[in-house]
Amino acid sequence: MMQAARKASRKLRRDFGELENLQVSKKGPADFVTTADMTAEKTIFQELSAARPGYGFLMEERGEVEGTDKSHRWIVDPLDGTTNFMHAVPHFAISIALERQGTIVAGLVFNPITDEMYVAERGQGAYLNERRMRVSARRELDRSLIATGLPFMGQDHHEAELAELSEVMAATAGVRRFGSAALDLAYVAAGRYDAYWEHALNSWDIAAGILLVREAGGFVTDLDGGEQFLKSGDILASNDGVQPKLLKLLKDARKKVS
């Protein structure tokens, strides 16, 4: 996984900042794909297929690719934070997760610009460039820095999410919106953020990050407190002190606009 990510990152680094030469197409309102996304995904697909023949894939651009080995599947986002990449904002990542019989057993998030490699294996802990990671120890919301994602053009539920944002802003030390779910989860695992929540994500956005947070001692649930985040795309990640308080705050906010 690390080899595949580093190989794919070489072209991303070369293309980064070459805005005039970047070929871009739209998948939907404010939803873009670049040739860099496609090239990175092709490289990752080739590298992982050679390393583990028969494993299936779920990839952002290619979609589902069935393998002969039905118990293993790679879940890949070749460029999480495409809009940042397109605007030369150095906050984007490659995300790769390995699913074994429905359980995420390995995860990687790599920012090619900062050369930060976040990795985790189930039961083996989480690491940033070989240094062990732990989620933050803060337990009070008024001391906590929270990350989120906000809806953009073409997405629904603006009112409910603005209500959530308003409540969290009033109760915490700050809210950040950086534009990469994979890195938001990696930052929670590293203790940089105390929590992160977002709605309507895809499984390739969060699969690797979920394992990073859990192996760093954190908690991940959907926004009802359950385990359906990979299906619903709604996610909350934090430590054991902040998680229940933020979950209640978000639930209460949604009730006010329902």
Domain count, the chain: 2
Phi then psi for residue 87, to 5 deg, are -105, 15
Rounded to two decimals, the pTM is 0.94
The yes-or-no verdict on residue 179 having pLDDT over 80 is yes
Model confidence at 197: pLDDT above 50: yes
Tell me, what's the pLDDT at 31?
Answer: 47
pLDDT (mean) for 65-94: 95
> How far is Cα 145 from Cα 148, in angstroms, rounded to an integer?
10
**212 vs 48, 103, 196, 240, CA distance in Å?**
20, 14, 13, 15
Residues 193 and 156 reside in one and the same domain: yes
| DSSP 8-state assignment for residue 87 | T
Q: What is the mean pLDDT of the chain?
A: 92
Q: Is 67 helix (H, G, I), strand (E, B) or coil?
A: coil
Q: What is the pLDDT of residue 91?
A: 97
CA distance 103 to 72: 9
Q: Are residues 86 and 124 in the same domain?
A: yes
Q: What is the CATH number of the domain that holds 117?
A: 3.30.540.10
CB 200 within 8 Å of CB 159: no
Tens digits of residue pLDDT in 11-51: 899 888 776 556 565 554 444 457 888 899 999 999 999 99
Clarify whether residues 14 and 126 are in a common domain. yes
Q: What is the CATH number of the domain that holds 243?
A: 3.40.190.80
Judged by average pLDDT, the poorest of 120-134, 153-167, 218-232, 244-258 is 153-167
Segment 132-139 mean pLDDT: 98
Parent domain of 78: 2-132
